[in-house]
């Protein structure tokens, strides 16, 4: 919908177009159309200047909408900016600075903004009551997949980019005395007072400029025009060594202990040196919230048409960008702001047909100035309808009615105009206070929520504190800054901030808090009187929600979607509270608000992640053998923080072929595996044996030096945490090996119990994992292979399970193992010698094998792997490992837990082998086991597959599974439910290598 | 994000430099008498955490020095009254209303 362009002609001596440079035009594209603006514009002001009234469509009804506000409160003009990976959805056009070549798109429309297909929804508004989805799509259940598809298509605001984000983001940590959120009048004064008290100050302002909306007001302070006074203050602050000023950097979240998130937009186009956005993680001793206020819309039928705008937003658009909202205006207001806007419009050459004042008998300087300047004013009137003559989207007339009607129909009058500017008073924008759990009581005097009962270390100043007149705002800012100084620096004497008596700023007659106008409207009018513009919530919707029993503010919010979405209902929550209180008949002060949660404005995922993406996402630990074993780029998999090769394919082998070849090599000759990643923890000290006997379910205190034992670590419930070898190195020293992914956790676990439960035991725990490079040599020829290492044969002849001595001239540890089901030796040398050891063994003919091959080998041997066969609810007895639980120790972690009734009942799930009848069918881990093949859903399952694979040794698929009462069901046939089919399989023992088949 | 001081190494750092280990000063009944623990005591110990709104004592581990210590924290507003070593006398919560 294009109208006449709305940019004012340059006129000397007028205050209009303060921020723009007409000499430097900018080209941009909106929905593919080439448009032009000027330097200094925002996207919203440029769209208005081009006469584009419709900037977007609403979320639910796809009603056409125009720009409503001036800042981050904007609920209507949501746009997607950028292309490719830099595309950012849900930006508020009022907050996007215009740049040359900017590409923006409107949202919630298809195929175009003007002809929107889903806008049909608007015609069926009565069919889309709150809770529509819950009510409509419940039945029949079989159609849900169809409904879901439709809902998914319609849902969501904006579209996420499909390409990866090429931009850089960074995090910065900062500790300051005082954080000031907001750089308006109050924020600047608070920062000034705090800095004067010798405190370090971070002032974070959401928009690109300091001073807030003070440029919408005239008057003078200390003999200076308001704007010049602010300029002087900003210059002094910028020069102050203790003050850091940030612009385009909203405080998006406040947390306990003075922690705050500030998201700074550094640039809109990243270059190599400059990140796009920066997340400041601020720790402040005192926080001052000076986030200003948002102007409330008035609630009347069709108040959402493009062309209806907030009065102060229209005035600021005039003063900043020389953009007029239209040619013929009607101003509807419940306070003095409307008069200021009307006077500005008049000065700019816009015809002001009428100022409609809701107040019955307004008496304030602005009203008198307005009348004296010749404004045509109606008192005690209210808008009741907005119409477009030809059924168009925008505004051609507004109908106003007398508010006080004694009898009969109200006197109405239709006034023709092309824009309606409304002001319902101010609503403090102190949502940040709510992040810390403070409630904001409803203040009927201003018709909005106002912060009270603040937690320690937090203050609110200025309009956010419900103080709206410029002079009071200045005083309130100074008060907050001085208070911060008193709290943090009580001894210091500080200068007094006082303005001279000569100020000339008009004071307002407090706006009459008006929620719904005119009071009880007809049903069909309520259904068009919008409270939340973004989510299409009307007075009628609120009434429906209440009549269906959703009386609590939080329930109303969920049921009607009031106050959700990218704007978080910034323009809605003051009005909705007044209306809800009115409809339910409760005292307005009792009306609670919904919980305000971070973030204050939408935050990009990129800046949350910062440098933690790609390689920076997770720290990687590297095996000392990494350079050798990953030289041929084998496939790797993540194990904890390690990356371990799955197998080593040669000559273009597939992964499965490589695994089978490696398994056969280990079964016939010998293979080597990088086992450096296994956790290696030593426990030393006079009480080491006693401590370990408490920590481990298996008896280990009776080990002789040089002996090893496979042991289980339980938690105090009796469930398996980890398994590993425990070796006694000397009477007072033990070595524990743990699963690769578990080393750090196992160490923490040991330390926690030592420090908190048994602090009197003299034992020291050391994580030696990265000190050692370790190679597992496995296969029938493993011993022969190891003996070819210089010095190993003498060492092995000693016969112990654990041997320490010199191998190839360096200190080594050799431990016997049987995890693969074949004779194995784990050889550990100092990390730096690892590559040499590996190379030597490979030269002697050992086949390198990877993690997947090891998995297949231990599956054939029927050995368990932590997190495959265990899931935190599995006991040693479930796995048939009861022999590893000590019968003699009176106490160890899990002993008493294991004796509980549920852990000892007979029909728990047992670990069994599973052999599918189809020798080629490998049921993946997690496959459910069902008893009958033909049972109708819901099927009863009796267990699940925990590990599976094709056994090259047996030439068929094998699996391990946890099956209810499995040990009593040996030889029985069950069914694995795989790919939608139940396939028969036989329950067997677990030791496939030893002939369990 | 809590700001925590370790009472052992006296470093002050963000919560991310620590690990929470659940309730502090929990009595493990089998440590007192391993010969017999009634099922009720065992269930209390294993399954029931106080988790009340108000002052609570928690175990935390410092990633710097590796020590476990206890924290007196208000679960309603996250105020930290004290952090203390496990062998110290228990500090009491502040009197004033929070």
* Cα separation, A661 vs A697, whole angstroms: 37
**8 Å CB contact between A95 and A512:** no
> For the segment A74-113, what is each residue's pLDDT rounded down to a tens digit?
999 999 998 888 888 889 999 999 999 999 998 877 666 6
Q: Which residues of B touch A (CB under 8 A)?
A: 1-3, 14, 19, 21, 24, 28-31, 34-35, 37, 39, 42, 45-46, 59, 61, 66-68, 76-80, 86-87
pLDDT for residue A120 is more than 90:
no
pLDDT for residue A121 is more than 60:
no
* Cα separation, A573 vs A562, whole angstroms: 8
Split at pLDDT 50, 70, 90, the class of A440 is: confident
* Cα separation, A326 vs A316, whole angstroms: 14
* Cα separation, A102 vs A47, whole angstroms: 12
> For the segment A603-659, what is each residue's pLDDT rounded down to a tens digit?
999 999 999 998 888 888 889 999 999 998 999 999 888 999 999 999 999 999 999
Q: Which two tokens stand for residue A158?
A: 């904006």
Q: State the smallest CA–CA distance between residue A607 and chain B in angstroms.
A: 18
A257:B68 CB<8 A: no
Q: Which two tokens stand for residue B30?
A: 């089998």
Q: State the smallest CA–CA distance between residue A486 and chain B in angstroms.
A: 21
| ipTM score for this prediction | 0.96
B31:A891 CB<8 A: yes
Which residues lie below 8 Å from residue A62, measured CB to CB, with a gap of 6+? A108, A109, A116, A118, A119, A121, A122
**8 Å CB contact between A97 and A91:** no
A896:B86 CB<8 A: no
Alpha helix positions (H), A561-708: 573-584, 605-609, 626-629, 655-668, 688-695
* Cα separation, A112 vs A105, whole angstroms: 10
Nearest to A256 among B29, B30, B78 (CB): B78
**8 Å CB contact between A766 and A684:** yes
**Segment A274-291 mean pLDDT:** 95
Count Cβ atoms within 10 A of the Cβ of residue B46 and give its class: 0-12 exposed, 13-18 middle, 19 or more buried.
Answer: middle
Q: What is the mean pLDDT of chain B?
A: 91
* Cα separation, B16 vs A530, whole angstroms: 44
* Cα separation, A302 vs A528, whole angstroms: 5
Note the pLDDT of residue A122.
61
Q: Which residue of B has its CA nearest to A765?
A: B66
Task: Find the farthest-apart pair of alpha carbons in chain A and give their distance in angstroms, rounded.
Answer: 115
Identify all chain B residues contacting A757, using CB atoms and an 8 Å cutoff.
28, 31
* Cα separation, A866 vs A947, whole angstroms: 11
What residues form DSSP beta bridges with A486? Answer: none
Q: Which residue of B has its CA nearest to A760?
A: B87
* Cα separation, A657 vs A663, whole angstroms: 10
* Cα separation, A8 vs A350, whole angstroms: 10
Nearest to B86 among A258, A716, A759 (CB): A759
Note the pLDDT of residue A287.
97
* Cα separation, A838 vs A675, whole angstroms: 11
Q: Which residue of A has its CA nearest to B19?
A: A748
**Segment B4-30 mean pLDDT:** 94
Selected residue with higher pLDDT from A503 and A36: A36
Identify all chain B residues contacting A758, using CB atoms and an 8 Å cutoff.
31
Q: Which residue has the tokens 């175990």?
A: B59
SS3 A465: helix
Q: Among candidates B92, B23, B40, B90, which has minimal Cα distance to A756? A: B23
Identify all chain A residues contacting B1, using CB atoms and an 8 Å cutoff.
255-257, 259, 281
Note the pLDDT of residue B98.
46
* Cα separation, A879 vs A869, whole angstroms: 8
What residues form DSSP beta bridges with B5? Answer: B12
**Segment A359-376 mean pLDDT:** 89
Find the length of chain B. Answer: 98
Q: Which residue of A has its CA nearest to B59?
A: A756
Q: Which residue of A has its CA nearest to B13?
A: A283
Strand A78-81 and strand A102-106: the pairing is antiparallel
Note the pLDDT of residue A818.
86
> For the segment A396-419, what is each residue's pLDDT rounded down to a tens digit?
999 998 877 666 677 889 999 999
A257:B3 CB<8 A: yes
Residue A93 neighbours by CB distance under 10 Å: 25
pLDDT for residue A996 is more than 50:
no
* Cα separation, A193 vs A288, whole angstroms: 12
Note the pLDDT of residue A126.
56
Assign 3-state DSSP to chain B and report helix, strand, coil percentages, each to 5. Answer: 15, 35, 50
* Cα separation, A746 vs A316, whole angstroms: 62
A821 conformational bin, left if phi > 0, alpha if psi -120 to 50, beta if neither: left
B78:A259 CB<8 A: no
* Cα separation, A696 vs A713, whole angstroms: 5
Q: Among candidates A909, A907, A920, which has minimal Cα distance to A983? A: A920
Which of B78, B83, B96, B97 is the mutation pick for testing A, counting most A CBs within 10 A?
A: B78
State CA A583 to chain mean position distance. Answer: 35
B1:A258 CB<8 A: no
Q: Among candidates A722, A752, A716, A715, which has minimal Cα distance to A736? A: A722
| H or E segment and range at residue A284 | strand A277-289
Q: Please, what sign has the CA dihedral across residues A838, A839, A843, A844?
A: negative
pLDDT above 90: percentage of residues in chain A: 63
Split at pLDDT 50, 70, 90, the class of B97 is: low
A751:B68 CB<8 A: yes
State CA A115 to chain mean position distance. Answer: 34
Strand A102-106 and strand A224-225: the pairing is unpaired
> For the segment A294-338, what is each residue's pLDDT rounded down to a tens digit?
999 999 889 999 999 999 999 999 999 999 999 999 999 988 899
Count Cβ atoms within 10 A of the Cβ of residue A653 and give its class: 0-12 exposed, 13-18 middle, 19 or more buried.
Answer: middle
Split at pLDDT 50, 70, 90, the class of A527 is: confident
State CA A88 to chain mean position distance. Answer: 16
Strand A909-916 and strand A981-988: the pairing is antiparallel
Note the pLDDT of residue A981.
85
* Cα separation, A529 vs A519, whole angstroms: 12
Angle between helices A365-372 and A337-347 (to 10 degrees): 30
What residues form DSSP beta bridges with A727? Answer: A708, A735
Identify all chain A residues contacting B45, using CB atoms and an 8 Å cutoff.
716
Peptide bond preceding A295: is omega within 30 degrees of 0, i.e. cis? no
Split at pLDDT 50, 70, 90, the class of A456 is: confident
Q: State the smallest CA–CA distance between residue B56 and chain A in angstroms.
A: 17
pLDDT for residue A505 is more than 70:
no
Q: State the smallest CA–CA distance between residue A456 and chain B in angstroms.
A: 10
Identify all chain A residues contacting B28, using CB atoms and an 8 Å cutoff.
716, 757
B1:A895 CB<8 A: no
Q: Among candidates A672, A686, A680, which has minimal Cα distance to A708? A: A680
> For the segment A133-186, what is each residue's pLDDT rounded down to a tens digit?
556 555 566 666 666 666 666 666 778 888 888 889 999 999 999 999 999 999
Q: Which residues of A touch B (CB under 8 A)?
A: 255-259, 281, 283, 437, 455, 716-717, 748, 751-752, 755-759, 890-891, 895-897, 900
B66:A455 CB<8 A: no
A259:B3 CB<8 A: yes
Which residues in A367-508 belong to E strands, given as ranges? 377-379, 381-387, 397-402, 412-416, 419-423, 426-428, 442-443, 448-449, 458-460
* Cα separation, A892 vs A869, whole angstroms: 22
Give, as one character, the DSSP assignment of residue A534. T
Q: What is the mean pLDDT of chain A?
A: 89
Q: State the smallest CA–CA distance between residue B34 and chain A in angstroms.
A: 6
B80:A257 CB<8 A: yes
């Amino acid at each position: 919908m294009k109208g006449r362009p709305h940019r004012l002609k340059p006129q000397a001596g007028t205050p209009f177009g303060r921020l723009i440079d007409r000499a430097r035009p900018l080209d941009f594209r909106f929905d593919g159309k080439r448009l032009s603006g000027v330097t200094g514009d925002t996207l919203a002001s440029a769209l208005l200047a081009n006469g584009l009234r419709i900037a977007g469509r609403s979320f639910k009804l796809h009603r056409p909408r125009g720009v409503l506000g001036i800042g981050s409160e904007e609920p209507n003009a949501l746009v997607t900016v950028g292309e490719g990976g830099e595309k950012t959805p849900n930006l508020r056009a009022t907050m996007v600075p215009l740049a040359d070549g900017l590409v923006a798109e409107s949202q919630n429309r298809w195929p175009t903004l003007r002809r929107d297909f889903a806008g049909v929804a608007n015609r069926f508004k009565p069919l889309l009551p709150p809770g529509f989805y819950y009510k409509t799509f419940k039945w029949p259940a079989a159609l849900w997949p169809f409904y879901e598809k439709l809902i998914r298509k319609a849902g969501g605001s904006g579209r996420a980019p499909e390409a990866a984000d090429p931009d850089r983001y960074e995090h910065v940590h900062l500790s300051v005395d005082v954080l000031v959120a907001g750089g308006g009048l109050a924020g600047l004064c608070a920062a000034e007072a705090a800095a004067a008290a010798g405190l370090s100050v971070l002032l974070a302002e959401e928009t690109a400029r300091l001073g807030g909306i003070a440029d919408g007001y005239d008057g003078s302070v200390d003999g200076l025009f308001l704007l010049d006074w602010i300029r002087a203050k900003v210059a002094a602050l910028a020069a102050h060594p203790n003050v850091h000023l940030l612009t385009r950097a909203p405080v998006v979240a406040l947390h306990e202990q003075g922690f705050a998130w500030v998201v700074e937009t550094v640039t809109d186009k990243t270059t190599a040196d400059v990140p796009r956005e920066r997340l400041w993680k601020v720790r402040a001793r005192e926080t001052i919230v000076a986030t200003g206020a948002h102007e409330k819309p008035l609630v009347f039928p069709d108040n959402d048409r493009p062309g209806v705008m907030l009065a102060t937003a229209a005035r600021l658009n005039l003063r900043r960008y020389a953009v007029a909202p239209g040619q013929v205006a009607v101003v509807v207001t419940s306070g003095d702001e409307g008069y200021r806007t009307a006077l500005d419009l008049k000065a700019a050459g816009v015809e002001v047909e009428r100022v409609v004042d809701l107040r019955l008998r307004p008496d304030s300087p602005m009203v008198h100035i307005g009348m004296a300047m010749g404004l045509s004013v109606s008192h005690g009137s209210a808008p009741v309808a907005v119409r477009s003559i030809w059924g168009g989207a925008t505004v051609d007339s507004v109908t106003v009615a007398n508010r006080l009607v004694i009898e009969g129909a109200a006197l109405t009058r239709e006034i023709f105009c092309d824009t309606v500017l409304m002001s319902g008073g101010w609503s403090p924008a102190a949502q940040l206070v709510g992040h810390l759990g403070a409630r904001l009581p409803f203040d009927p005097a201003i018709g909005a929520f106002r912060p009270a009962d603040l937690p320690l270390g937090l203050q609110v100043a200025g309009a956010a504190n419900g103080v709206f007149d410029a002079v009071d705002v200045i005083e309130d800012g100074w008060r907050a800054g001085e208070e911060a100084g008193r709290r943090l620096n009580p001894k210091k004497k500080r200068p007094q901030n006082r303005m001279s008596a000569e100020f000339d700023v008009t004071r307002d007659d407090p706006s009459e808090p008006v929620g719904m106008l005119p009071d009880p409207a007809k049903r069909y009018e309520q259904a068009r009187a919008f409270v939340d513009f973004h989510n299409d919530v009307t007075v009628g919707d609120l009434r429906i929600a209440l009549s269906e029993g959703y009386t609590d503010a939080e329930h109303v919010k969920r049921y009607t979607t009031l106050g959700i979405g990218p704007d978080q209902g910034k323009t809605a929550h003051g009005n909705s509270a007044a209306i809800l209180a009115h409809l339910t008949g409760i005292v307005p002060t009792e009306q609670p608000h919904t919980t305000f949660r971070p973030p204050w404005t939408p935050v990009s995922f990129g800046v949350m992640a910062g440098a933690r993406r790609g390689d920076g996402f997770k720290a990687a630990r590297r095996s000392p053998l990494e350079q050798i074993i990953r030289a041929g780029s084998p496939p790797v998999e993540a194990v904890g923080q390690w990356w371990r090769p799955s197998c080593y394919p040669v000559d273009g082998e597939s992964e499965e072929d490589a695994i089978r070849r490696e398994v056969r090599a280990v079964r016939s000759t010998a293979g080597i595996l990088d086992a450096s990643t296994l956790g290696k923890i030593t426990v030393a000290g006079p009480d080491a044996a006693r401590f370990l006997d408490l920590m481990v379910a298996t008896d280990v205190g009776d080990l002789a030096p040089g002996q090893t034992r496979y042991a289980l670590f339980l938690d105090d419930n009796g469930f398996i945490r980890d398994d590993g070898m425990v070796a006694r190195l000397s009477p007072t020293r033990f070595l524990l090996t743990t699963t690769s992914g578990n080393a750090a956790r196992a160490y923490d676990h040991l330390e926690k119990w030592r420090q908190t439960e048994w602090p009197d035991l003299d034992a020291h725990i050391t994580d030696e994992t990265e000190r050692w490079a370790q190679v597992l040599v496995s296969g029938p020829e493993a011993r022969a292979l190891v003996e070819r290492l210089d010095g190993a044969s003498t060492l092995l002849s000693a016969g112990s399970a654990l041997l320490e001595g010199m191998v190839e001239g360096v200190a080594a540890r050799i431990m016997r193992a049987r995890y693969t089901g074949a004779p194995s030796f784990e050889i550990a040398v100092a990390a730096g010698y690892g590559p040499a050891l590996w190379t030597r063994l490979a030269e002697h003919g050992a086949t390198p094998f990877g993690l997947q091959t090891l998995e297949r080998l231990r599956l054939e041997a029927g050995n368990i792997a932590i997190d495959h066969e265990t899931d935190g609810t599995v006991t040693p007895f479930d796995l048939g490992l009861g022999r590893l639980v000590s019968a003699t120790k009176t106490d160890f972690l899990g002993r008493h837990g294991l004796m509980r009734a549920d852990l000892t009942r007979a029909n728990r799930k047992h670990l069994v082998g599973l052999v599918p009848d189809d020798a080629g069918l490998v049921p993946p881990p997690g496959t459910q086991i069902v008893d009958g093949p033909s049972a109708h859903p819901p099927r009863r399952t009796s267990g699940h597959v925990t590990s599976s694979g094709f056994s090259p040794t047996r030439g068929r698929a094998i699996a391990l599974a946890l099956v209810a009462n499995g040990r009593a069901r040996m030889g029985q046939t069950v069914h694995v439910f795989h790919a939608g089919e139940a396939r028969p399989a036989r329950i067997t023992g677990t030791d496939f290598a030893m002939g369990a088949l | 994000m809590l700001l925590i001081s370790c009472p052992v190494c006296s470093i002050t750092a963000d919560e991310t430099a620590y690990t929470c280990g659940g309730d502090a000063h929990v009595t493990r009944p089998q440590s007192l008498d391993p010969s017999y623990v009634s099922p009720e005591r065992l269930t209390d110990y294993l399954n029931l955490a106080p988790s009340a709104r108000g002052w609570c004592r928690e175990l935390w581990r410092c990633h710097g020095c590796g020590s476990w210590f206890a924290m007196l924290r208000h679960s309603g507003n996250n105020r930290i009254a004290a952090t203390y070593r496990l062998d110290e006398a228990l500090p009491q919560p502040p009197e004033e209303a929070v």
